[in-house]
Amino acid sequence: MKILIIGSGGREHALVWKIKQSPLVTQIFCSPGNAGIGQDVTNIALSDDAAIITFCQKEAIDLVVIGPEVPLVEGLADRLNAANITVFGPSQQAARLEGSKGFTKEICRKYHIPTADYECFSDLQAAKAYITQHKTPIVIKADGLAAGKGVTVAMNEAEALQAIEDIMGGKFGEAGASVVIEEFLEGEEASFFALCDGEEAILFASAQDHKRVGDGDTGANTGGMGTYSPAPIMTEALNQQVMETIIYPTLKAMKAEGCPFKGVLFAGLMIEKEQAKLIEFNTRFGDPETQVMLMRLESDILPALLACAKGGIKDIALQFSEDAAVCVVMAAKGYPESYHKGSILNGIEKADALEGVKVFHAGTALQGEHIVANGGRVLGVTAIAKDIASAQAKAYQAVNTIDWKEGFYRTDIAYRAVTTKTP
């Protein structure tokens, strides 16, 4: 089979790495890819959807795997399907589960899916008035896509009002045309992934991530500074509860709404007193959650991706290692705000050679003979070991092998799951 993967991040590098292991695969392309992906498969620059379709037809691509959320929300899967090209990823209508937080909340309310109480506003003054009538902490979200940065947990009224002004004042562009204001949920967060074919779903895996830029979960929200899998809080009973109260009802709801969901449904959860509530949905694999989950996946992933696209996901049985995996993101100094590109990274091959370690490239490019930083989140240094503490230690051993003075990383990834922080 010939595969095309769309995207350029750590998630896509992890997908390339895992799909390449399938005996069904003959060739993999990635558009646009990055320096690390280019070491494994062929990178191809495809400028738009029309170019992607033309390439797929010319190369007789058997499956397109769409990594990022933006092309999904913009309808790439629909255009590929219309051209009779098999695609892993939801339709534009189904991708609204990620593209509009307001849409997701309406689905939850209509179909009785457990989530935080909320209201949506497109009028600034009405949103502010709502804040003054409700207690804090309270959660303010840009309705649309904001690269993981459009959420503010406001601890007081002033912070809440400022967040609303930022969002509706244009900080996130069109994503902030409307705002969702939610009840603050207490508990422990977890990321839960299910594979869906429009009719049925199976549990994929769980993870827990660190969105804040600084140690101790402090500072600005980012796209993710590190993660670990499995999520210790996700017991077998809780996994089943999430499938029965959140995943299956959402599948039925989307089918009833005329937009069956095919792909991976990524549920951000809040767990309190062994009960799960939905924080938000993503309609694609997470980044960097994919890195740790695929390190643990022992099965061939390709049949599962095909089953999501064509049906029959219930017939797929996936086997995961009982070992744990930890990913530490190395980011450019200044991220998630302004940062410089072009600094040289050394020692990646040495880190990659460590047993149980894989360095996934997220924002890299090739400049002559050098791999250079080409984004905010640049590397996802990932390790697998017998338990989370051992995987954490191994990941930081690998991080310390990489020489990149213009980068930084959190020193406490997975601290919730271990008793001591990594120095």
The type of residue at 423 is P
Q: Give the model's confidence band at 422: pLDDT under 50 very low, under 70 low, under 90 confident, else very high.
A: very low
Q: Give the model's confidence band at 134: pLDDT under 50 very low, under 70 low, under 90 confident, else very high.
A: confident
| pLDDT tens, position by position, 2-39 | 999 999 999 999 999 999 999 999 999 999 999 999 99
CA distance 364 to 371: 7
Query: What are the φ/ψ torsions at residue 409 (nearest 5 degrees)?
Result: -160, 160
Four-way CATH pick for 188-315: 3.30.470.20, 3.40.50.2300, 2.60.120.960, 3.90.650.10: 3.30.470.20
For domain 2-91, which architecture applies?
Answer: 3-Layer(aba) Sandwich (3.40)
Q: Which has more pLDDT, 147 or 3?
A: 3
Q: Are strands 151-154 and 138-142 parallel, antiparallel or unpaired?
A: antiparallel
- CB 327, CB 291: distance < 8 Å: yes
CA distance 421 to 412: 5
| pLDDT tens, position by position, 45-75 | 999 999 999 999 999 999 999 999 999 999 9
CA distance 200 to 377: 34
Q: What count of other Cβ atoms lies within 10 Å of the Cβ of residue 58?
A: 8
| pLDDT tens, position by position, 90-108 | 999 999 999 999 899 999 9
- CB 371, CB 352: distance < 8 Å: no
- Per the document, the length of the chain is 423
User: For the whole model, what pTM was predicted?
Assistant: 0.92
Closest CA to 329 of 408, 250, 220: 408
* Ranges in the chain annotated CATH 3.30.470.20: 188-315
Q: Give the pair of three-digit tokens for residue 235.
A: 């017991």
* Long-range own/partner contacts, residues 72-77 (CB < 8 A, 24 or more apart): 72/98, 72/99, 72/263, 72/283, 72/284, 73/98, 73/99, 73/145, 76/6, 76/49, 76/52, 77/263
Q: Average of pLDDT values for 181-200?
A: 94
Closest CA to 269 of 291, 239, 308: 239
Instruction: Please report which helix (H) or strand (E) contains residue 56, including its range.
Output: helix 49-59
Task: Say yes or no: domain 123-177 is CATH 3.30.70.3420.
Answer: no
For all residues of the chain together, what is the average pLDDT?
94
* Ranges in the chain annotated CATH 3.30.1490.20: 123-177
Residue 311: strand, helix, or coil: coil
Contacting residues for 127 by C-beta, under 8 A, at least 6 apart? 121, 164, 168, 179, 181
Residue 353: strand, helix, or coil: coil
Q: Average of pLDDT values for 285-300?
A: 98
Tell the CATH superfamily of the 324-417 domain: Phosphoribosylglycinamide synthetase, C-terminal domain (3.90.600.10)
The type of residue at 86 is T
